[in-house]
């Protein structure tokens, strides 16, 4: 049986569903300045690199003032677009709580921001990763449906004890997905990439990682790393196709089949893979 994240303890200020008031006024001037710096840096880097849908969605974040977005204002715009809202949480929340929010079209966003000396690396998802990385695509109706379906699938996977498999789907799409757009042009859409200054270039331009065509069952067998740039990326053809494939899949027999198959190491390339780029893996060897 796959087990999910380690046990987390709900802080006393958090509600039953782990939400906390955003309390926008608690952010210092320095914290808003860190947001502005990150926002500047990334929004310059993304045209031509990020999926068109992401760049379109970024407009939703164009709020009246600079600084960390006020979730009430942000949710108002997002709700108009797709019925999603953004709620504040202290940090990582348990899997069942996370899935329940997604299944109800609420995106839980960390209520803190990294420090200026941590611009490029941090372990827990902060408000920049969560809002800049995840929210723009939630303004896209198809991706919005995919995330809700993922939340519902997550709740079901807990019953099957297959959360680890489902978490890999999230990882290789929502967090680190690439998409092929018009003219075979590779773009980024995963939140972990679009919110990372380094990986938004590395994932597209480096000869090091593998880039493979997306295949649901294959992805669910593939291990991943959380401590550095990915060594393999999976490429979807469209959000419509991703939504359709995951909605049509009957996950009960799928999980059963997967139980009988071995997990795949990060760099494995199979005969059956559609290889877009076979990586040199030089980046990892040099590290």
Instruction: Map the footprint of ligand HBI across residues 92-151, applying CB under 6 A.
Output: 92-93, 95, 98, 108, 125
* Residue 261 interaction partner, one of ligand HBI, Fe ion, none, beta carbon < 5-8 Å per kind: none
The answer for residues whose C-beta is within 8 angstroms of residue 129's C-beta and 6 or more apart is 110, 122, 191, 192, 195
**Which residue from 140, 147, 205, 200 is spatially nearest to 173, judged by alpha carbons?**
147
User: Are 284 and 206 spatial neighbours (Cβ–Cβ below 8 Å)?
Assistant: no
Work out the number of other CB atoms within 10 angstroms of the CB of residue 183: 5
Exposed / middle / buried, residue 182 (Cβ in 10 Å: 0-12, 13-18, 19+): exposed
Could you give the CA distance from residue 177 to residue 188 in angstroms, rounded to a whole number?
A: 6
**Closer to Fe ion at the Cβ: 125 or 154?**
125
On whether 134 is known to bind a ligand per the annotation, the reply is yes
Cβ 107 to ligand HBI shortest distance, Å: 9
Cα–Cα–Cα angle for 108, 55, 281, nearest 5°? Answer: 85
What distance in Å separates the CA atoms of residue 140 and residue 207, rounded to the nearest whole number? 31
- CB atoms under 10 Å from CB of 119, counted, come to 14
Q: How far is the CB of 87 from ligand HBI (least distance, A)?
A: 10
CB under 8 A, 24+ apart: contacts of 243-246: 243/142, 243/143, 243/145, 243/146, 243/149, 245/216, 246/146, 246/149, 246/150, 246/153, 246/169, 246/216
191 touches Fe ion by CB under 5 A: yes
Taking the least distance from each CB to ligand HBI, the nearer of 5 and 261 is 5
Q: Which stretch binds Fe ion (CB under 5 A): 27-35, 68-76, 119-127, 239-247?
A: 119-127
Q: How far is the CB of 234 from ligand HBI (least distance, A)?
A: 16
Shortest distance (Å) from residue 176 CB to ligand HBI: 12
Q: What is the smallest separation between the CB atom of 191 and Fe ion, expressed in angstroms?
A: 5
- Judged by CB under 6 A, the chain residues 226 through 285 that form the site for ligand HBI are none
Out of 112, 146, 170, 176, name the contact with ligand HBI by CB under 6 A: 170
Size of the site for ligand HBI (CB under 6 A): 11
Binding site for Fe cation, residues?
129, 134, 175
Contact positions vs ligand HBI (CB under 6 A): 4-5, 89, 92-93, 95, 98, 108, 125, 167, 170
Contact positions vs Fe ion (CB under 5 A): 125, 191
Binding site, residues?
129, 134, 175
């Amino acid at each position: 049986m796959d087990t999910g994240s380690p046990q987390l303890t709900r802080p006393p200020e958090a509600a039953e569903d782990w939400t906390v008031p955003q309390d926008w006024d608690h952010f210092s001037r320095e914290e808003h300045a860190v947001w502005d710096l990150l926002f500047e840096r990334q929004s310059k880097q993304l045209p031509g690199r990020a999926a068109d849908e992401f760049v379109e969605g970024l407009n939703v974040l164009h709020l009246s003032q600079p600084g960390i977005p006020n979730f009430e204002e942000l949710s108002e715009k997002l709700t108009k677009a797709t019925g999603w809202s953004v709620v504040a949480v202290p940090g990582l929340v348990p899997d069942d709580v996370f899935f329940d929010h997604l299944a109800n079209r609420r995106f839980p966003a960390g209520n803190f921001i990294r420090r200026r000396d941590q611009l490029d690396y941090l372990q827990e998802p902060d408000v920049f990763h969560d809002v800049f990385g995840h929210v723009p695509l939630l303004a896209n109706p198809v991706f919005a449906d995919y995330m809700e379906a993922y939340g519902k699938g997550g709740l079901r996977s807990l019953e099957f004890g297959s959360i680890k498999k489902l978490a890999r789907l999230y990882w290789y799409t929502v967090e680190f997905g690439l998409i092929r757009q018009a003219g075979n042009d590779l773009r980024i859409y995963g939140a972990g990439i679009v919110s990372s200054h380094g990986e938004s270039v590395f994932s597209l331009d480096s000869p090091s990682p593998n880039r493979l065509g997306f295949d649901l069952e294959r992805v669910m067998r593939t291990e991943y790393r959380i401590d550095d740039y990915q060594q393999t990326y999976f490429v979807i053809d469209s959000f419509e196709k991703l939504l359709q494939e995951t909605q049509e899949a009957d996950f009960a027999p799928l999980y059963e089949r997967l139980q009988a198959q071995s997990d795949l190491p990060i760099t494995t390339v199979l005969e059956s893979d559609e290889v877009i780029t076979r990586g040199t893996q030089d980046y990892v060897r040099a590290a």
